[in-house]
Structure 1
Amino acid sequence: MQQARIPVAREGVPFIGLAALATLVCAVLSYDLLALCGLLLTFFITWFFRDPDRIPPQAADAIVSPADGKVILIEKVFDERFVQEHVYKISIFMNIFNVHVNRIPHAGVVESIQYNAGRFHSANTEQGALYNEHCAVTIRTARHQLYGVVQVAGLIARRIVCWLDQGDEVKAAQRFGLIRFGSRVDLYLPLQTQVEVRLGQQVRAGESLIGYLH
């Protein structure tokens, strides 16, 4: 029998617990207004760190979105920082209201993880993409194709979490990390990719189709 999963990111549990404890103390001391504010704050934090289950596309060559948010960039570039080849770069901007848990776009083996402390410009700008705090993960597929997924911090987001290690085998739509308080995730995909997503489209991590890797 499969154990039920709490639909909240584990990084949010301490914040939820602290808010709930403060609410309880205020209630016991009959600080009714503070207790009400604490209860609302507890509900908000729980909602903020929500981590719902998602159903990915069934096609073996499908690439799923690594993040909830809006597609703000689709272009062909030469990536000299992560995969060192010509790629499709697809950027997804996450606002504060999106689910913040990130997911693996396509199955494979983690080849490298690069973390850069960086700065905190607005994440929806090119300056932010180049210089902000980021964590870049490259993954080698079963067909030996290399792609990259990069978590980028923004003005508000100051905490990138990545749960992966080099050499990990990963599955499509698997949870691999989160960015607190919204930000941006960049995908670097081989030019053999059949891109299906559109500029301006709203996508959901682990569920929305980005394209097919041929």
Structure 2
Amino acid sequence: MKRLFLVEDDLSLINGLSFALKKQGYEIDVARTTQEANTLWVDGRYDLVILDVSLPDGCGFDLCKKIRQTSKVPILFLTAADEETDIIMGLDIGGDDYMTKPFKLAVFLSRINALLRRSENFSQQAAELHSHDIRIRMLQREVYKNGALLDLTASEYKLLCLFMENPDAVLSPERILSKLWDCDENYIDNNSLTVYIRRLRTKIEDNPAEPRRIVTVRRMGYKWNTKG
């Protein structure tokens, strides 16, 4: 049975979500403040974390950063903070998905199921990926170039993994977006993807102006090039 960790201060929402999640067969622990969350959080106890951003004594973003220091557990932000900058921030610091309130319960449950499936698939992958001078240690979520540790955001890390797991395959923007994020496409769209790829290239390419690893395939998408 999967155990979920809900960090939310709205009692009526807690009651509604707890009922719905338990009906789906999940166990659930609840924290209403960051202090309670820090007390309850133990890596390995939970299969998924649901975080509000605005809490009475702190911020869900800070909790996400703390969790990501030790854990790769899936994190879903569920919050009224619906500005584009908030959504990008949540994904960049390690969130796997971001839903804004109000929301439809069926969609919420679908996102939960999708994140859990994705996490199970991830755990079955190889421990390392290696191509050119780039090496990814999957369990540690670390990326090295020529032996030097790179500083990647969570979104950049997931994007790089997707490319290296599909060498020489052309990935359309739509496929990349669907694989990495379930968020509203009004926020995570082709323009946002272009920004992520440009930022990733600055960190992994010898010459970002002439990329040789992540190459653009005109009118089709992008691919991880292993031949040059």
TM-score with structure 2 setting the length:
0.23
- The structure carrying a bigger strand percent of its residues is 1
Flag the structure with more relative contact order, 1 or 2, with Cα contacts below 8 A and sequence separation at least 6: 1
